[in-house]
Amino acid sequence: MAEKLFVSNAQESSRMFKSNFYEAFSKIHFTVPIFLFVPVVAYFIYLSIVTYHLSALYIILFIAAGIFAWTFVEYILHRFLFHYKPTSEFGKRVHFVFHGVHHDYPNDKNRLVMAPAVSVPLAFAFYYSFRYLIGEAYVAPFFSGFVMGYLFYDLSHYAIHHFSFNNGFWNKIKQHHMIHHYRDHDNGYGVSSKFWDLIFRTDFKDVNPNK
């Protein structure tokens, strides 16, 4: 069992920046990714149909592949980047801003979804990487699916922390993530799915979810 971290049930996290300007931009409403990335999804689906004349089958297959690719990226980012443990004071500070604050204050609704200062550069980096690998035409539906996967992750992450569910599927996802937060932060890196936790054996082994 991992060493227990500080976890506050406060509805707001501690101040992160002395500057009021930087502090304001560190708080992100959960609808921001919707306004930023739904047009991106629509644009690339439009390109798939109108510009590249891809068949419906190809569009569906590449969208599904993009969604699946996101689940893997989500797992890798969460496990190896967000849970990287720096030793320098500067590294610890950067880690706290990126992800540590969420683990210390998991109920802060303004620091749950990914900040555009991070998500937008990452989107550009992934798009051009995928474009290099699979080409300009096929990357359009693939990237649409990839962004859909990201949106599902960000919005489901918010819902997991702030909504109650009566659905068994959502209850299992929420339970998985809550164990990660409150009982074993060294396992359970999947948020929208625990598929890769099962593949890489980072699912919870010694935690009884009913306790």
Q: Where are the domains of the chain?
A: 29-167
CA gap 126, 181 in Å, rounded: 28
Nearby residues of 110 by Cβ (< 8 Å), 6 or more positions away? 12, 27, 28, 29
Structure tokens at 135: 């080409």
CA gap 137, 151 in Å, rounded: 22
Residue 204 · residue 179 · CB < 8 Å: yes
What is the pLDDT, as a whole number, of residue 9? Answer: 64
Q: What is the share, in percent, of the chain residues with pLDDT greater than 90?
A: 47
Any idea what DSSP says for residue 206? Answer: S
CA gap 60, 63 in Å, rounded: 5
CA gap 99, 105 in Å, rounded: 10
pLDDT at 2 over 50: no
SS3 category, 77? helix
CA gap 58, 209 in Å, rounded: 41
CA gap 153, 79 in Å, rounded: 15
* Residues 134-190 pLDDT 10s: 999 999 999 999 999 999 999 998 888 887 888 788 888 889 888 888 888 889 999
Residue 45 · residue 59 · CB < 8 Å: yes
Q: Count Cβ atoms below 10 Å from residue 176 Cβ, excluding itself.
A: 20
pLDDT at 97 over 80: no
Half-sphere exposure of 59 (CA within 13 A, CB side): 16
* Residues 29-62 pLDDT 10s: 889 999 999 999 999 999 999 999 999 999 999 9
CA gap 83, 98 in Å, rounded: 10
The values of phi and psi at residue 191, to 5°, are -105, -55
* Residues 121-141 pLDDT 10s: 999 999 999 999 999 999 999
